[in-house]
Amino acid sequence: MDTTIASLIGEERFDLTIRGGRIVTDGRVIEGDLGVRDGRIAAIGGSLPPGLRDVDATGRWVLPGGIDSHCHVEQRSGMGMMCADDFYSATVSAAFGGTTTIVPFAAQHRGMSVPEVLADYSQRAAEKAVIDYGFHLILANPDATTLSQDLPAAIRDGITSLKVYMTYDRMKLEDIELLDVLALARAEGALVMVHAENNDMIRWIAQRLIDRGHTAPKFHGVAHDPLAETEAAYRAIALARLVDVPLLLVHVAGGDTVEVIRQAQLLGANVLAESCPQYLFLTADDMDRPGLEGAMFCCSPPARDADAQEAIWRGLIDGTLATYSSDHAPYRFDETGKLPKGDATTFKEMANGVPGIELRMPLLFSEGFLKGRIDIHQFVALTATNHAKLYGLAPRKGAIALGADADIAVWNAERETTITAAMLHDNAGYTPYEGRTIQGWPEVVVSRGRVVVEDNTLHAERGSGAYLRRGAPDLPRRAPVPGTDRQNRSHGRVLKALIGLGEDTP
């Protein structure tokens, strides 16, 4: 049925009409109006009657609001540091940058139970978030109760993804624990996200650097050698292939790692991966600044070099990398974050991470879409649609479609902005992108039909964001390629039985 007529015969007025824009739907660009009723998209295209409220989008792009599926909000790190943003400042900052849904982490540390962690994060987010949110669970304590009871219950309750670490002494899982988690994810239909870096390689290099007095931020980049990422990524993929379960590698930084992922996908492995602005727009040279200033650019894995940036672009363009997230991990340049020991802080002691929740989409819009590296549909897939699918939020979120939540950003492609920390709404106190000029900005942002940002002003109440109980991940299914080892050998009867695929135990 013609969507415009379908909306008109209802005779009710739209709550909101977005007029005359270039609307990007799944695979199409439609010039015209978009109507919203009861928080959902009710009409797409054509010329609609006036709504209770109208937004003029003439000459603008009308895109789905972004989904940021990797950000750290009001979270204590493995080293015990609280990040600088709470659920209010992080979601306000996200909204100003065109993002209307976030999926941050509820972080279990050793000794904590999953129900207590989820209750704690849920309460804090409900009081403060201005846009919609879900949670991934960070799992650092895969003990028997967690694996047999708490985790299955959490997954059934809408926490359908979890992150595990292969590095950080206080967070890392052993390979055998990772196998247990992967097998459980397979049984319960959850997606495991992995921080892949080889802990011992990093520790070994870091100790030698510190012993020689090389403590400056730039040595963070030396300690986290690209091979530490590539080795761990390969190992994580092998573990997931053994159990025959999908896996998502987060914050991919290096060119060799992209290649390992690409090859695994070509063999039929269900490996997914994500990258982030810092790996497109920063390099290791940014950590090499006077004094401790380079700490503001330290994240893990660290940004590499121009070749790695190109490899990440290629991965995003050819689909090897499915999502582009911020990995917003905001820490202030003071004793609460980057400089716990003041001027004496070594690269091992500073909090890891960079802010980026507000600039994630504007940077890619400017440098990816407007510069012709990706088209508008790739932009939408990388910033919204793919996140919705992988994390069980589709079809409600992540696309402009009839019946979907009216989460929309109206982008002015002409607007030029010189980035400063002062214009941003997070609480990090600095931005790694200070002084860069970018083009394009989301001037009007709509969350479930509410105009939450307009005229550079917030119009959303604290606590007005809704919790999203997520469904099962909708993952691309790749079959093992005939003639490969996986096809022929490893999934024999015994292994299948061990991972719960076979009829009986061997």
Footprint on this chain of ligand DUC (rule: CB under 6 A): 72, 195, 250-251, 299-300, 327, 329, 352-353
**Contact partner, 299, from ligand DUC, Zn ion, none, Cβ < 5-8 Å per class:** ligand DUC
Q: Which does 104 bind (CB under 5 to 8 A by kind): Zn ion, ligand DUC, none?
A: none
| Structure token pair of residue 189 | 């239909």
Tokens of 212: 């020689």
Letters for 374-413 (x = contact with Zn ion by CB under 5 A, - = none) are ----------------------------------------
Q: Which of residues 326-355 bind Zn ion (CB under 5 A)?
A: 327
Q: Determine contact, residues 495/184, Cβ cutoff 8 Å.
A: no
Q: How far is the CB of 219 from ligand DUC (least distance, A)?
A: 17
Chain position carrying tokens 């504007």? 362
Closest separation in Å from C-beta 202 to ligand DUC: 11
What backbone torsions phi and psi does residue 192 show, to the nearest 5 degrees?
Answer: -95, 125
Residue number with the smallest Cβ distance to Zn ion: 195
Q: Which is nearer to ligand DUC, 69 or 352 (CB)?
A: 352
The nearest distance, CB 46 to Zn ion, in angstroms, is 42
The footprint of Zn ion on residues 406-465 (CB under 5 A) is: none
Compare residues 327 and 443 and give the one whose CB is closer to Zn ion.
327
Q: Are strands 132-133 and 136-138 parallel, antiparallel or unpaired?
A: unpaired
Q: Where are the beta strands (DSSP E) in 79-173?
A: 99-107, 132-133, 136-138, 161-165
Does the CA dihedral 163-165-168-169 come out positive or negative?
Answer: positive
Query: Between residues 25 and 108, which has the closer beta carbon with respect to ligand DUC?
Result: 108
Closer of 237 and 249 to ligand DUC (Cβ): 249
**Phi, psi at 61, each rounded to 5°:** -90, 135
Cis peptide before 290 (omega within 30 of 0): no
* Contact (Cβ atoms closer than 8 angstroms) between residue 337 and residue 296: no
Contact of residue 393 among Zn ion, ligand DUC, none (CB under 5-8 Å per partner type): none
Q: How far is the CB of 140 from ligand DUC (least distance, A)?
A: 13
Binding at 352: pick from ligand DUC, Zn ion, none (beta carbon under 5-8 Å per type): ligand DUC
Minimum distance, C-beta of residue 228 to Zn ion, in the bound complex (Å): 13
Q: Which of 63, 58, 47, 50 is nearest to 21 (CA)?
A: 58
CB of 72 to ligand DUC, least distance (A): 6
How far is residue 472 from each of residues 166, 250, 271, 310, 319, measured CA to CA in Å?
25, 19, 17, 33, 22
Closest by CA to 94, choosing from 86, 335, 395, is 86
Nearer to ligand DUC, 227 or 376 (CB): 227
- Smallest gap from Cβ 473 to Zn ion, in A, equals 19
Within 156-195, the residues that bind Zn ion by CB under 5 A are: 195
Instruction: Give the shortest CB-351-to-Zn ion separation in angstroms.
Output: 12
Pull the structure tokens for residue 314: 């290629």
Query: Measured between alpha carbons, how far apart are the two ends of the chain, in Å?
Result: 56
Nearer to ligand DUC, 172 or 214 (CB): 172
Q: Interface residues for Zn ion in 288-327 (CB under 5 A)?
A: 327
Which CA distances in Å does 108 have to 137, 172, 180, 224, 302? 7, 12, 17, 24, 24
Q: How far is the CB of 251 from ligand DUC (least distance, A)?
A: 5
Of the pair 328, 448, the CB lying nearest ligand DUC is at 328
Looking only at the bridges linking them, the beta strands covering 437-447 and 408-418 are: antiparallel
CA 164 – CA 95 distance, rounded (Å): 28
196 binds, among Zn ion, ligand DUC, none (CB under 5 to 8 A by kind): none
Quick one: what does residue 491 bind among ligand DUC, Zn ion, none, with the CB cut-off 5 to 8 Å set by partner type? none
Nearest to ligand DUC of 105, 379 (CB atom): 105
Q: Are 465 and 447 in contact (CB under 8 A)?
A: yes
125 binds, among Zn ion, ligand DUC, none (CB under 5 to 8 A by kind): none
Dihedral Cα 390, 392, 395, 399, nearest 10 deg: -50
Question: Rule CB under 5 A: is residue 244 a binding residue for Zn ion?
Answer: no
At a CB cut-off of 8 Å and minimum separation 6, what does 244 contact?
Answer: 186, 491, 499, 501
Shortest Cβ 332–ligand DUC spacing (Å)? 15
- In the list Zn ion, ligand DUC, none, the entry touching 40 (Cβ below 5 to 8 angstroms by class) is none
Specify the residue, 174 or 414, whose C-beta has the smaller distance to ligand DUC.
174
* Residues near 167 by beta carbon (within 8 Å), at least 6 away in sequence: 195, 197, 198, 199, 202, 228, 232, 300
Give the footprint of Zn ion on this chain (CB under 5 A): 195, 327
